[in-house]
Structure 1
């Protein structure tokens, strides 16, 4: 049973890290689009941006409603990354030990 719990916690940590990378890539792409470095008329770029927006928007929206842009810069991705890192490090380890004690 311990192997299943370890696998589940490792999977959750990997998904959190993957989501953090999606946030970072989405932020960098938005800057590159804003400064006309890349063009969204390119179908590949458009599909990547659209996918990342659809994946990250549900998590970002509540933070963007609370945190106003500072000088035109949206800092909510930084806050979301910090919250996800804290959740990963401070909640998943105790959850792992709790599940191991409950499940045996």
Structure 2
């Protein structure tokens, strides 16, 4: 049961990382009104907005996606370590 939860957390973490990275890459090439990008933004923006309130963009560089990626990995690692301790 715990192994299933660990696998699920890893899958969700990986999926979120991919969505954030794809959203960042598409923001350079695709119109914000494109259906694919707007759907990705609906997933990513609620996660980025609290970070942007604390860490505003520096010039034209927005570090919030990088911070979100780091936070996703930290939370994933902490949850997996917590679950592994119950084995």
Into which bin does the TM-score normalised by the smaller protein fall?
0.7 to 0.9
Cα separation, 1, equivalents of 2:62 and 2:74: 20
SS at match of 2:47: helix
**Alignment equivalent of 1:50, drawn from 32, 38, 47:** 38
Q: Equivalent residue for 1:97?
A: 85
Q: Equivalent residue for 1:65?
A: 53
Runs ≥4 residues deviating over 4 A: none
CA RMSD of aligned residues (A): 1.7
Cα separation, 1, equivalents of 2:81 and 2:10: 10
Largest Rg, 1 or 2: 1
**Alignment equivalent of 1:9, drawn from 6, 11, 17:** 6
Q: Equivalent residue for 1:36?
A: none
Aligned pair count reads 87
Q: Deviations 1:35-93 (Å, cap 9, x if unpaired)?
A: xxxx567xxxx121011011111111100111111121111000010111112223322
Residue ranges of structure 2 left out of the alignment (5+ in a row): none
